[in-house]
């Protein structure tokens, strides 16, 4: 039986896909064997290191948290401190990199934005409310509207 052009293309495509799938299967097999060999080597090294290392002392219990004394604070300061602690604790739960010792939790806005008269630049009013054709037109239209409103009400 002779192959038509269509069947020949299908046959070549099948041959290509079989070759590619066979190549991928072989590469996967070789890769898995190499990974298993590397893992076995690492595991043997770790077991050797664990056998040679002295036993580590058990970690001591974490110190018990004692809240700061707030008896001398005003109610407003107490609320502010409570809100600050809530914010720190919420961030600590969702962001493991949040370390309260290194985070600046106090606002610096008051110290950063203080009024300094030396920093204030004088205002240049060279182009402030400059009169031109448009402003004359707007003023004339406003006067006309005011006159027509008064005449509609009956008093001029």
Residue-wise pLDDT tens digits, 14-55: 777 888 888 988 999 999 999 999 999 999 998 888 888 776
Kindly report the CA angle at 28 between 25 and 30, in degrees rounded to 5?
Answer: 110
Per-residue H/E/C for 56-88: CCCCCCCCCCCCCCCCCCCHHHHHHHHHHHHHH
Q: Report the distance separating Cα 10 and Cα 25, nearest Å.
A: 22
| Whole-number pLDDT of residue 134 | 92
Q: Mapping DSSP to helix (H, G, I), strand (E, B) and coil, where does residue 46 land?
A: helix
pTM of the model as a whole: 0.28
What is the structure's pLDDT at 143?
93
Q: Where is average pLDDT lowest: 63-77, 121-135, 139-153?
A: 63-77
pLDDT band at 98 (very low <50, low <70, confident <90, very high): low
Q: Give me the pLDDT at residue 17, please.
A: 81
pLDDT higher than threshold 80 for residue 151: yes
């Amino acid at each position: 039986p002779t192959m038509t052009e269509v069947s020949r293309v299908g046959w070549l495509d099948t041959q290509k896909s079989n070759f590619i799938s066979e190549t991928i299967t072989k590469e996967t097999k070789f890769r898995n064997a190499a990974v298993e060999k590397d893992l076995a080597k690492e595991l043997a090294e770790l077991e050797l290191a664990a056998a040679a290392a002295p036993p580590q002392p058990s970690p001591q219990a974490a110190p018990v948290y004692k809240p700061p004394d707030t008896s001398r604070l005003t109610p407003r300061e107490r609320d502010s401190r409570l809100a600050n602690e809530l914010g720190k604790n919420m961030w600590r739960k969702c962001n493991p990199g949040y370390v309260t010792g290194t985070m600046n939790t106090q606002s610096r806005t008051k110290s950063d934005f203080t009024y300094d008269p030396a920093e204030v630049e004088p205002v240049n009013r060279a182009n402030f409310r400059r009169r031109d054709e448009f402003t004359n037109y707007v003023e004339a239209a406003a006067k006309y509207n005011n006159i027509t409103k008064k005449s509609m009400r009956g008093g001029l």
